[in-house]
């Protein structure tokens, strides 16, 4: 598949890795083509290689101010960390007092490589020390009082020079004083990976025993690093073998990596034309980027103080947006940022910001923007411009209110939108003709998003309705109703007192009008005794959607272990709801624990034996009540996804759907002209980047927030060939599995998404 982008890449994730500088790449290539000798060989080619290696070591010593300390080349910082911890703990083990309890201290905001390695070697060497995290304050500074109290019993203490997520730097001089005052003998390692080229280092003037570094964080290739070891500090080789590096680190040396490092060091020492900028210039760059971010996102907050962080890192959060949403937005604008540490990109929140005591929303929404000291003014200017264009595009999805109509070329909303916060769902149904909308199960976390959407689409809400009294979480209904419908009289769930009477299935029911449609209230107690279902009916009386609250969830039934729950009522409610809507009407629950969007009785029958027995009448009300009670006892107070998933169905395995790569998809398009490509990114992503080459005419944009609407509208095309595409292939896989569950038999997705498509 040929995919082109009109936007050049703006790379702002330097704390994860950096591109290799041209000078460094040239030096590495030279080492591969010309200086390819083995530094251990005694002939001239080997001697030249050894000379290059020693020149690199000498420059490293100059930069670090290492004095008589050793510099050992490694494969990277992780190996340096292992070397330091193994060396320190091997020495410490030799003089342990069996009657004393020891500890291993590390900063609470330390890269996970450190505590994980401490735990590993502590167990492997059978030392039995207690691992303790050193707290930090709200600015990320380590607690010196804690260190003073704990370090006397510590075998090793590990701290960071500069944090990889926030750029916060520690006061190494104050740490040195505190540590040595209370334990002159403890071994001290400082992770200096993010400090190189950004903070002054004079290691020989400190009592630091070990300091690991990594080349790829500062424009050298991956696979090369080095570790400083103080003169006199204990050392145990982490890699034994042929005795290279004076027997300290065996294995044939990575000469191309060292050659690249050599050039980086030369520029740091300003021995030749340097690509690196002064501290004042980097501070100016940060100021420009910070202003651009605040202009683009006026409510943005920075998660760290600029007073004690390096200027090359900005960690921020935008209220109302998850880190993934901002990541996807920036990626569509070809801006590369991170949602925290690249080593833990699947983590949904930042343990670093948690340790600093920041509010949960900031931790969950954190974005790290980082650049290297070789950043240029033209790159900063372009980044600032692109950040603004990315923010403008949010108007396409009605996620922001833009005064620039051209920037917010939004599509009129007509139909159903599913908004999610965690595993909870809010539903908005909009009728474009009447400009009316109803909001079902509004969440307080989505208050701002719902408000913005209604304003952006100029919709008049007729009601904010909950499907049940919330026994375990809070509704956002009251605040929204007070804002939009202050005069409306309603019951405790938000159902308007001023309603009409109708019939559904020969049963009297209450209804409110939504344009030509009607929303019918159906009492379906069980999950709670006030639970209701809301049926959206067409002018012909067909039920289009059933908003069933927690009566039926995807792959399970709602809990009945609250004080106001009743399994007998649930039994009757299930049978009633099925009799009115049948097998195929889409059910829209208020929770989606496993990313399955929507369901139907037909879909549930395939995976939910208990529900099947209820509807088919093969289980009595009493038997259902007994089985349901047993299942509910397996639920914790927090209905976690793994609990919901296993307790009612015996598992939640997802279907394996067909996967294409870009080449095989291009071939399939040629063979199957009826195939349609479904781009499930949000409208703002699609607006920023949607050139699809040969597939352009066969592509439609159906964002995940409107996927349920798509399912409703295309039920009759379940045998058609649909290929789902997103940025990375993650969302498309989840959505494809959900559609397959709902009967779309020929669904497939593009593995790797646009990220891995040809350009």
Residues in contact with 600: Cβ distance below 8 Å, sequence separation at least 6, in sequence order: 583, 584, 585, 586, 587, 742
Alpha-carbon 687 to chain mean position: 22
Q: State both tokens at 190.
A: 């400082």
Buried b (16+ CB within 10 A) or exposed e, 267-300: bbeeeeebbbbeeebbeebbeebbebbeebbeeb
Sequence-ordered strand ranges (E) for 199-305? 210-214, 225-229, 301-302
Rounding to the nearest 10 degrees, give the CA dihedral for residues 671, 675, 681, 686: 80
Give me the helices (H) in 230-308, please. Answer: 255-268, 279-296
With the C-alpha atoms ordered 387, 390, 391, 392, is the resulting torsion angle positive or negative? positive
Q: State both tokens at 673.
A: 């002209």
The torsion angles phi and psi of 514, rounded to 5 degrees, stand at: -135, 90
Residues in contact with 283: Cβ distance below 8 Å, sequence separation at least 6, in sequence order: 311
DSSP-derived secondary structure letter, 589: E
The torsion angles phi and psi of 8, rounded to 5 degrees, stand at: -75, 160
CA distance 512 to 464: 12
Q: What angle do CA 186, 235, 100 make, to 5 degrees?
A: 35
DSSP string, 122-179: HHHTT--PEEEEEPB-TT--B-HHHHHHHGGGEEEEEEESB-TTT-BB--HHHHHHHH
Tell me which residue of 756, 759, 698 sits closest to 732, measured CA to CA.
756
Residues in contact with 226: Cβ distance below 8 Å, sequence separation at least 6, in sequence order: 60, 71, 72, 73, 74, 80, 212, 213, 215, 261
CA distance 566 to 572: 10
The torsion angles phi and psi of 35, rounded to 5 degrees, stand at: -90, 55
Q: State both tokens at 440.
A: 């079902």
Q: Residues for the chain: how many in total?
A: 759
CA distance 479 to 502: 30
Beta bridge partners of 749: 659, 724
Q: Rg (Cα) of the chain, in Å, rounded? A: 30
CA distance 192 to 204: 14
CA distance 610 to 605: 9
Buried b (16+ CB within 10 A) or exposed e, 611-632: bebbbeeebeeeebbebbeebb
Measured CA to CA in angstroms, residue 450 lies from 244, 362, 533, 638, 752 at distances of 63, 20, 21, 26, 31
Q: State both tokens at 251.
A: 């294995």
Give me the helices (H) in 546-671, please. Answer: 567-581, 601-607, 609-616, 621-632, 641-647, 662-671
Enzyme catalytic residues: 343
SS3 31: helix
DSSP-derived secondary structure letter, 452: H
| Distance in Å from the first CA to the final CA of the chain | 9
CA distance 557 to 555: 7
CA distance 257 to 27: 9
């Amino acid at each position: 598949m040929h995919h082109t982008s009109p936007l050049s890449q703006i790379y702002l994730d330097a704390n994860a890795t950096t591109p290799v500088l041209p000078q460094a790449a040239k030096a590495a290539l030279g080492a591969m083509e010309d200086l390819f000798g083995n530094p251990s060989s005694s002939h001239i080619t080997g001697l030249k290689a050894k000379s290059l290696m020693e020149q690199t070591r000498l420059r490293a010593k100059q930069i670090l101010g290492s004095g008589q300390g050793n510099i050992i080349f490694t494969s990277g910082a992780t190996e340096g960390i292992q070397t330091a911890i193994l060396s320190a703990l091997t020495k410490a083990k030799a003089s342990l007092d069996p009657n004393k309890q020891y500890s291993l201290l590390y900063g609470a905001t330390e890269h996970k490589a450190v505590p994980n390695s401490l735990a590993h070697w502590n167990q492997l060497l059978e030392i039995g020390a207690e691992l303790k995290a050193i707290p930090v304050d709200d600015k990320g500074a380590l607690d010196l009082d804690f260190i003073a109290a704990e370090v006397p019993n510590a075998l090793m203490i590990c701290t960071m020079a500069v944090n990889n997520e926030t750029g916060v730097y520690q006061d190494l001089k104050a740490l040195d004083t505190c540590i040595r005052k209370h334990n002159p003998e403890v071994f001290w390692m400082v992770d200096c990976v993010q400090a190189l080229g950004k903070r002054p280092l004079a290691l020989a003037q400190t009592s630091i025993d070990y300091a690991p570094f990594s080349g790829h964080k500062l424009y050298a290739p991956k696979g090369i690093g080095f570790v400083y070891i103080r003169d006199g500090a204990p050392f145990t080789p982490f890699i034994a073998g042929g005795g290279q590096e004076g027997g300290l680190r065996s294995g044939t040396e990575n000469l191309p990596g060292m050659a690249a490092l050599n050039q980086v060091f030369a520029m740091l020492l300003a021995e030749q034309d340097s690509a690196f900028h002064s501290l004042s210039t980097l501070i100016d760059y940060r100021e420009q980027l910070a202003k651009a971010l605040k202009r683009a996102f006026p409510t943005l907050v920075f998660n760290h103080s600029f007073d004690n962080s390096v200027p090359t890192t900005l960690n921020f959060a935008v209220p109302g947006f998850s880190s993934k949403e901002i990541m996807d937005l920036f990626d569509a604008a070809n801006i590369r940022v991170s949602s925290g540490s690249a080593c833990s990109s699947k983590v949904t929140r930042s343990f670093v910001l948690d340790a600093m005591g920041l509010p949960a929303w900031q931790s969950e929404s954190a974005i790290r923007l980082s650049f290297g000291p070789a950043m240029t003014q033209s790159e900063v200017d372009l980044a600032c411009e692109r950040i603004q264009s990315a923010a403008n595009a949010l108007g396409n999805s009605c996620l922001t209110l833009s005064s620039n109509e051209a920037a917010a070329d939004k599509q009129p909303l007509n139909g159903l939108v599913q908004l999610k916060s965690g595993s909870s769902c809010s539903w908005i149904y909009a009728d474009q003709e009447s400009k009316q909308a109803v909001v079902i199960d509004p969440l307080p976390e989505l208050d701002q998003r719902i408000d913005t959407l209604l304003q952006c689409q100029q919709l008049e809400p007729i009601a904010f309705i909950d499907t049940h009294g919330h026994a375990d979480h809070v509704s956002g209904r009251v605040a929204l109703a007070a804002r939009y419908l202050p005069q409306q009289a309603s019951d405790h769930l938000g159902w308007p007192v001023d309603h009409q009477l109708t019939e559904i299935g020969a049963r009297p029911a209450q209804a409110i009008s939504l344009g030509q449609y009607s929303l019918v209230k159906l009492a379906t107690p069980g999950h709670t005794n006030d639970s209701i279902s809301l049926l959206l009916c067409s002018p012909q009386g067909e039920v289009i959607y059933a908003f069933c609250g927690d009566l039926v969830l995807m792959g399970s039934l709602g809990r009945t272990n609250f004080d106001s729950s009743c399994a007998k009522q649930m039994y009757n409610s299930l049978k009633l709801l099925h009799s009115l809507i049948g097998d195929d009407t889409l059910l829209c629950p208020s929770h989606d624990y496993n990313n399955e969007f929507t369901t139907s009785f037909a879909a549930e029958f395939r995976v939910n034996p208990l529900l099947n027995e209820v509807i088919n009448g093969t289980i009595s009300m009493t038997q259902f009540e007994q089985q349901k009670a047993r299942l509910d006892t397996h639920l914790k107070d927090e209905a976690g996804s793994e609990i919901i998933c296993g307790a009612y169905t015996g598992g939640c395995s997802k279907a394996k759907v067909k996967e294409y790569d870009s080449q095989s998809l291009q071939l399939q398009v040629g063979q199957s002209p009826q195939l349609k490509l479904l781009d499930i990114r949000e409208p703002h992503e699609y607006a920023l980047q949607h050139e699809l080459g040969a597939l352009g005419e066969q592509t439609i944009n159906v964002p995940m927030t409107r996927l349920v609407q798509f399912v409703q509208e295309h039920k009759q095309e379940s045998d058609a060939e649909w290929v789902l595409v997103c940025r990375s292939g993650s969302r498309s896989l989840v959505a494809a599995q959900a559609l397959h569950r709902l009967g779309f038999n020929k669904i497939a997705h593009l593995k790797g998404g646009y990220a891995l498509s040809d350009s």
